[in-house]
A and B are shown apart, each in its own frame.
Chain A
Amino acid sequence: MERHQSRGLTHRVSRRDFGRHASAAATLAAAQAFAPFLFVGCRPTGMPAGRQPIRVGLLHSQTGTMAISETSLRDVELFAFEQINASGGLLGRQIEAWGPDPKSRTDLYPKRARELIDWGAAALFGCWTSSSRKAVLPVIEEHDRLLFYPVQYEGNESSAHVVYGGLVPNQQILPVIDWLSSPAGGGLKKIFLLGSDYVFPRTANFVAKKYMAAKGMRPAGEMYLPLGHRDFAPVVNLIQASGADCVLSTVNGDSNIGLFNALAEARINPEKLPVMSTSIAEDELRNMLPEQVCGHLSVSCYFQSLPTEANRRWVDDFRHEFGHDRVTGDPLEPQWGLVHLWRQAVERAGSLDTEAIRGAMGEGLTFAGPGGLVQLDPKTQHCTRYFRVGRIRADRQFDIVHQSDAPITPDPYPQIAFPGWSCDWTKGGITRGPEVSIDGDI
């Protein structure tokens, strides 16, 4: 027996006590020594335990005003995951997708995002409006998750936790002004800026005005109306009075029905005053009368009528799965591409860990989608996209009247509007320039 001196007291340590303490110490030492080896295979890769499927969250409104647009996005995501599962899954596991309903309420988006992350979603796909995306940002940043956002938006944002698949102003607004004012576009230089009153139209038109000013052009007028506004008769009178020879419309949602109705009632045809819309795709056209919209224009990165073999195959597959009257369109094709870019990133990283995926994306990923080659720009986490102009046909499809020669590199901070601002996530993130005040209260 040995004696130990402890706090001035002497006490005996039995063999049993010694053995117990020694065992505990040995166990702790072993746990400490082996823990890195045991856990390196699971925690840092973010893979679920055992053979559990990889979970992903779909953040789309299935009821409420946004449902008619967002449910198509949910469908295309499910279809993509089903195809990946059918081809053996991702990293040898099946993908399980779940999409609770944010009910078209911006306040519910962060709540649903949190529910999805708690459920174990490794990545989130979704959102439509900029307000919903901005509402979700703090949640995904807090939990270090990636959101794959497919819709065209106003730029002036770049988050390391968002991968943007849609067009930004330098891929949409600036080229459309160039095209409209070119001989091919009719040399239209008196452009009336009409939009719904929220962040996307205000910012997009802010960029448009800066660009027009640099080209020596001035907008014929500028006007914003609340989302859901239907009475456009006074607006049409105002446009006519302005002497505009074209309207660049960032009007969103059901308001477009009111706008084209008012134009038709005023007997304004596209030859007289073409409307170039940024937010009318095949899905929106279903709710509009062809005789009112036929001949007007839309700007997009993708149209269903794109005459390529890859697109025909994709549209056929989609319709075979969901019905022959279903349509594809702009945000559906970018989201299809985003799902496949995510798959590539996870495969390359061999992991679901956000940092590892971001690392894989940093190497530059490409995907030959139905709309052409898409490249993920690691600096901005936006995608290179084609710029396309479509003329609306009587069958609610588009004739593609113009396409950029090559995909355009994204720039969420066009220098013409946001001087000094830039973004490079491979070199630390956003470089801030002077604060820019966008007109109006947004």
Chain B
Amino acid sequence: MHNFFWVYDLPTETFAILMIAVFVGFYWAGLIFLRPILRQFVKNTRGANDIVGYVLSCFCVFYGLLLGLIAVTAYQNASETSAHVTHEAAALSALYEDVSRYPEPYGQNLRWILRDYTRYTIKYAWPLQRQGIVPVDGTIRVQAFQEKLLDFQPATPAQEILHAEALRQFNTFLEHRRMRLFSVNTAIPPVMWYVVILGALINIAMVWLFDMKFITHLLLGGLLSAYLGTMIFLIAAMDHPFRGEVAVTPEPFEALYKHMVEE
């Protein structure tokens, strides 16, 4: 599947048009070159169109269910990843506010590291995630923050409460960060894609078996293929939550960083 990642570099409209064009083109090419051969199997069968129609309907129920479930899975993956990103940014924001109450220079040093982490996530981690690479340098920044956070020795009961809250918030942040990193390579398994593609081919092949006027065949089959291409485009666009234009963006981090540098 890795060979097809270039499609995520295309604008969404181009990607959609390409998928539709591939499916319609394949259908039309098959109609011209393969249909005469395939028609041999049902040529002398009485009511062949009805039989093909029944089988196609039955097939489409199963195939439609499969596509629907996969589309939902892809959407859920993207949506969960987006939630992890939002929660990570929210936890980071809360942590930033907590450490801002620390006495100086601890507060300033801790704020600088969190700001650096946020900047790194936007400018360096995100482009890597878009390529399916798990960014590792954020870990160094997290370690630097943890080191400085644990350096702080609370001197008053109020500082003790604040420090405990900051540690709790730090753990929440770590959890969501880890989930974001796990999501970098989240995708529909290749075996599911094989079944989807095979199903699409069978679907198109069955339409070739119908006996009707060539122009009607071109038009009706073309429409069906175009919709198949659209469905598969939809799943592909939502698959790999950090790739392509329909991807999870660093917007929550960008908003947070703007607040951090402008305070």
Contact = CB atoms under 8 A, between A and B. Distances in A.
B115 interface: yes
Interface of B: 104-105, 108-109, 111-113, 115-116, 119, 123, 137, 140-141, 143-144, 147, 260-263
Contacts of A115: none
A324 B116 CA distance: 13
Interface of A: 62-64, 67-68, 71, 75, 82, 98-101, 286-287, 320-326
A63 B112 contact: no
Contact of A323 (B141, B147, B260): B260
A325 B119 contact: no
B38 to A, nearest CB: 45
Nearest to B113: A71
B144 A322 contact: no
A67 B261 contact: no
Contacts of B263: 323-324
Q: Chain A contact residues: over half helix, strand or loop, or mixed?
A: loop
Contacts of A325: 108, 111
A63 B104 CA distance: 19
Contact of B123 (A62, A71, A82, A326): A82
Interface centre among A71, A75, A99 (most CB of B within 10 A): A71
A82 B119 CA distance: 12
Given A62-B141, A67-B144, A324 B262 contact: yes
B144 A286 contact: no
A26 to B, nearest CB: 36
Given A101-B140, A323-B112, 7 more contacts: A62-B140, A63-B147, A75-B116, A98-B137, A100-B140, A286-B104, A323-B261
A314 B263 CA distance: 20
A98 B147 CA distance: 22
Nearest to B106: A287
A322 B105 contact: no
Contacts of A98: 137
Nearest to B143: A63
Given A67-B144, A71-B144, A321-B261, A286 B108 contact: yes
B6 to A, nearest CB: 15
A75 B115 CA distance: 11
Closest 6 CB pairs of A and B: A323-B261, A287-B105, A101-B140, A63-B144, A62-B140, A286-B105
A2 B46 CA distance: 75
Contacts of A320: 261
Contacts of B123: 82
16 contacts: A63-B143, A63-B144, A63-B147, A68-B109, A71-B112, A71-B113, A99-B137, A101-B140, A286-B104, A286-B108, A286-B109, A323-B111, A323-B115, A324-B261, A324-B263, A326-B112
B260 to A, nearest CB: 6
Given A323-B112, A324-B262, A63 B140 contact: yes
B261 A71 contact: no
A67 B112 CA distance: 12
B16 to A, nearest CB: 28
Nearest to A101: B140
A100 B139 CA distance: 11
A161 B261 CA distance: 38
